[in-house]
Amino acid sequence: MTSTIRKINPQLEYYFVEGCFILELSNTPDDPDLSIARARVRPGVTTRLHRLHKITERYVILEGMGMVSVDGEAARPVGPGDVVIIPPDSPQQISNTGRVDLVFLALCTPRFVPGAYENIDT
């Protein structure tokens, strides 16, 4: 791996079937140990129940308020500064309970690949 500075283009944000908007900040094959994305959930939206196979995910809440449920536990409130650690293969979802977008970083180890995502919403 070599030293790199990645310039982020906010216009590359896209809607993901999970129910949120994603802006990939760092997710490349040359850095397989970690991916970083900014996720944005609109007010009143709950993401689909899903899991990531063989990937640990961490949410770092930047803006907004929400409720997060991991591995069948009761939903718990989250807000700016909170870090949610989601073990591999754990069912998870997050709801925006506020009036502004819920914005968080999603850090995945190893890096996120689409084949690891499984929608388990009924």
> How big is the CA angle at 102 (ends 100 and 92), to the nearest 5 degrees?
145
Q: pLDDT-based confidence at 2, cuts 50/70/90?
A: confident
Torsion sign across C-alpha atoms 86, 36, 50, 93: positive
Cβ atoms of residues 4 and 33 within 8 Å: no
The pLDDT-based confidence of 55 (bands split at 50, 70, 90) is very high
b/e code 99-115 from CB counts within 10 Å (16+ = b): eebbbbebbbeebbbee
At 86, the pLDDT band (50, 70, 90 cuts) reads very high
Which residue from 115, 114, 112, 119 is spatially nearest to 38, judged by alpha carbons?
112
- Please check the confidence at residue 1 and state whether its pLDDT lies above 80: no
- Global pTM reads 0.95
Predicted pLDDT of residue 4: 87
**Is the pLDDT assigned to residue 36 strictly greater than 90?**
yes
Arithmetic mean of pLDDT, 90-117: 98
What residue segments make up the domains of the chain, in order of their start?
A: 21-111
Q: What's the half-sphere exposure (Cβ side, CA atoms, 13 Å) at 37? A: 23
Yes or no: say if 67 and 76 are a contact pair by the CB < 8 Å rule.
yes
Confidence class of residue 50 from pLDDT cuts 50, 70 and 90?
A: very high
The pLDDT mean for the chain works out to 96
* CATH class as words, domain 21-111: mainly beta
Q: What Rg do the C-alpha atoms of the chain give, in angstroms?
A: 14
